[in-house]
Amino acid sequence: MGFNQVRDGLLLLLAVSMTTAQWTSLENIKLSNPGQPPLQMNPGLTPQWLQSASQAGSPGYPSADQAQQVIQQQIKKLNWNFPAMPQIPTPPPLVHVDRYADPIPAQGVTVRCNETSVYVEVSKDVLGIDPTFTMASLTLGGCTPKSMDASSQVLIYESPLYGCKSRLTVTSDELVYIFTLGMSPVPIRGTPILRRAGTRVFIQCHYPRFHNVSSSGLVPAWLPYASAQAAQELLVFTLRLMTDDWLSERTSNQYYLGELINIEASVLQFHHVPLRVLVDGCVATTVPDINAVPRYFFIENFGCLVDAELTQSSSQFMPQTQANKLRFQLEAFGFQQGNSSLVYITCILKATAASSPADAEHKACSFSDNRWTAAYGADQVCSCCSSSCGSRKGRDLSKRGMQLKREVNLGPIVVVENVW
């Protein structure tokens, strides 16, 4: 009996020792592998002292609250946005700089404006000792010197007021004739290059538009009828480049291909009845010669602006609101032949009585929307523009009264290509 009790006590002690050893080894395995998921154990089988130790936490194995706190401290919030689109730099706007020729010293030029002509003397000293200078290179609007004074080394020019490509400007009080005295650039000998832009100076002759015709202090003088008739028939025709609003003359002669060129034809009347100005025809060339080739007739047939019909352009006559002025727009163009960007325009201008009605030979017609329209008068006068508006034989000119024609030049006009 006593032996059996001793045996049962030893077995119970051995069982308790084995249970304690197994739980200790399982706990060591869980602590030595923190990266592995913890073993699922039944809390009912865990000893009370082991549950207390696990709940309190230990340095080797933190509690769940401590692990969550450590993770929250290590994570940082990352801010991410879509990258901004790259900004393409905007190129600076193109700046057009007009390059003008070097001026000629005015103190070396002597000008005398006569009643119908201009007289100019130029000292050769103002040109220096440029080896490219020749007597023919210095011109007055393209006119060479009339003579040269060898003793004083002076070049002499003489021209009518309307000659040598002079330009007439009319102000409220004066008539101003403007000439250009200049020397074109000459290539360096043996090379095709230029080192100088040429020289030029503007010469102006001013004439008053109004005179005192009071009888006081004047001795009456009878003039022959022929002289009086000649004075009455003195007319001044002009062609001018105008600004977009038609209010003033354009200061630049440069246009781009396809740009509209505003041109105003006018007649300055003195002692006449009111006059109407018309454009019989216009031709464009690359040089100031109406017979040069290539050439392009854009107004013909007594005032038919055929450019719009031939090229489907926007060229047109503007409505004629003032009889002594006729305005039209020409779409800028260049010639295929040759490398010149210059365009010279020569027109035949005609003046007639403003009270005379429009007819086949006195009209200003534009082509638009597949039909011809008149700048003044009825559109029926333009019906001959697609055929021929030739003069009629036996026409009674007395019904229309006095009419005069003049050939007027405009240019050069510089037409350049668009650079995008």
Residue 27 located in a structural domain: no
- The identity of residue 260, as a single letter, is L
Give the residue numbers spanning the domain of 269: 233-390+397-420
Same domain, 313 and 413: yes
Residue 362 located in a structural domain: yes
Secondary structure letter of residue 61 according to DSSP: S
pTM of the model: 0.46
How many domains are contained in the chain? Answer: 2
User: What gap in Å lies between CA 194 and CA 185, rounded to an integer?
Assistant: 7
Contact 318/328 with Cβ under 8 angstroms?
yes
Same domain, 205 and 152: yes
Same domain, 292 and 188: no
Same domain, 295 and 331: yes
Same domain, 342 and 401: yes
Put the strands of the sheet holding 109-113 in their side by side order.
Answer: 109-113, 117-123, 154-160, 147-149
Put the strands of the sheet holding 236-241 in their side by side order.
Answer: 236-241, 260-268, 325-331, 316-317
Residue 303 Cα distances to 29, 265, 280, 294, 359, angstroms:
114, 12, 5, 22, 11
Same domain, 181 and 330: no
The phi-psi region of residue 394 (left if phi > 0; otherwise alpha if psi is between -120 and 50; otherwise beta) is left
Same domain, 273 and 418: yes
Count the alpha carbons within 13 Å of 235 in the hemisphere toward its beta carbon: 25
Same domain, 182 and 276: no
Residue 28 located in a structural domain: no
State which residues of the chain have pLDDT below 50. Answer: 29-33, 35, 39, 43-45, 49-50, 52-57, 95-103, 129, 193, 215-232, 392-401
Nearest to 122 by CA among 104, 95, 96, 141: 104
pLDDT for position 215: 47
CATH number for the domain harbouring residue 239: 2.60.40.4100
Residue 12 located in a structural domain: no
User: What gap in Å lies between CA 270 and CA 236, rounded to an integer?
Assistant: 9
pLDDT for position 209: 79
- The identity of residue 233, as a single letter, is E
The phi-psi region of residue 329 (left if phi > 0; otherwise alpha if psi is between -120 and 50; otherwise beta) is beta
pLDDT for position 9: 67
pLDDT for position 394: 35
The SS3 assignment for 246 reads coil
The SS3 assignment for 255 reads strand
Looking at 177, 209, 241, the residue that finishes a domain is 209
CATH number for the domain harbouring residue 179: 2.60.40.3210
Residue 14 located in a structural domain: no
pLDDT for position 225: 41
Residue 34 located in a structural domain: no
pLDDT for position 233: 53
Looking at 175, 209, 243, the residue that finishes a domain is 209
Contacts of 31 (CB under 8 A, 6+ apart): 58, 60, 61
Nearest to 120 by CA among 174, 178, 171: 178
Residue 141 located in a structural domain: yes
Tokens representing residue 344 in the block: 């010279």
Same domain, 194 and 290: no
pLDDT for position 221: 46
Same domain, 266 and 404: yes
Tokens representing residue 339 in the block: 């490398």
Q: Residue 53: which H helix or E strand, with range?
A: helix 48-56
Same domain, 377 and 414: yes
Q: Is cis: bond before 412, omega within 30 of 0?
A: yes
Residue 382 Cα distances to 202, 328, 354, 374, angstroms:
43, 16, 19, 7
Secondary structure letter of residue 393 according to DSSP: T
